[in-house]
Amino acid sequence: MQAENQADALGVLGANQAGAQRTSFGGFGGSLGALGEGVAPRGLRCVAQDVLDVTASAQAIAYVTKDTRADGSVFASFYLCEWDTLCSRPISESMYCQMKFGAAGSVAATQLPERLTCCAARLPDGGCAVLQADSTLRLLRPDGRPGAQFALEYQGAPAGGIACDPVGDGDLWFSVPKRGSVVRFSLQSREMTLRVGGADDFAQPTGLFLQGHSLFVCCVGDHTVRMLHLPACTLGESVAFKGQPDQYFAVFRRRFVRMRNALYVCEQ
């Protein structure tokens, strides 16, 4: 199909016609029923459990866990995991928010009640795009001051996850679980410029992660993570899991996935 860069007639690339190559990474089997006992599925190594949120930088991955004090009260703990050694160390909430929200992190830590549950994408200008649970997109300026705020939807269906393409104008990609698609959105013109996929291509896409020219799409419908090569929008490898991948990150040669509130590193 031909892609058209028009907001009122979005170009649609059928993923199965765009060079899709389904690859089984095998070894990710095993039952997830024993996660509470600290047993990781085959091919995955458990980094942490009771994980509320995960974010990544170029050289490390950070996560938040839910912990319980002796008196029964619940609190959040923040950790940084080095990609090479997989050693974790405690960090402050402020440092975690700076990794997740960029320069606006210190303000986000105090003014965003949903900072540990929202999706965030750091923008090239130092600002940040924040997707709330109700599909409202909030733009934060580099100094943390609020910018525009609007609903992020496609054909009446809410966005499920976001990622920013740092190349060029810093377009935003967002997933649409109910449409089985990912959409490119221009923050400058506030227009949707391209839709990729369809109901048969991405099964309920949610979490997105962009590294270089590779957009990783978490599909909770069929428990896969699919790679989309940009800017050609052709499909690469497809990694299958025995559980719903909520978040997926590529940090150097490591691949991390969050499933059922646990963070794993892929060992194959």
The predicted pLDDT at position 220 comes to 93
One DSSP character per residue, 115-182 reads: TTTSEEEE-TTS-EEEE-TTSEEEEE-TTS-EEEEEE-EETTEEP-EEEE--STTTPEEEEEGGGTEE
8 Å CB contact between 233 and 196 = yes
Q: What is the CATH number of the domain that holds 140?
A: 2.120.10.30
Q: Is residue 44 part of a domain?
A: yes
Q: Is residue 1 part of a domain?
A: no
pTM of the entire predicted model? 0.82
Q: Is residue 149 part of a domain?
A: yes
Write the single-letter amino acid at 20: A
Give the C-alpha separation, 226 to 217, whole Å.
5
Q: Is residue 6 part of a domain?
A: no
What is the percent of the chain where pLDDT is above 70? 83
Q: Which helix (H) or strand (E) holds 110?
A: helix 105-111
Q: Is residue 5 part of a domain?
A: no
- pLDDT mean across residues, the chain: 82
How many independent structural domains does the chain possess?
1
Average pLDDT over residues 106-125: 86
Q: Is residue 4 part of a domain?
A: no
Which strands sit side by side in the sheet containing 191-197, from one edge to the other? 11-13, 191-197, 181-186, 172-176, 161-164
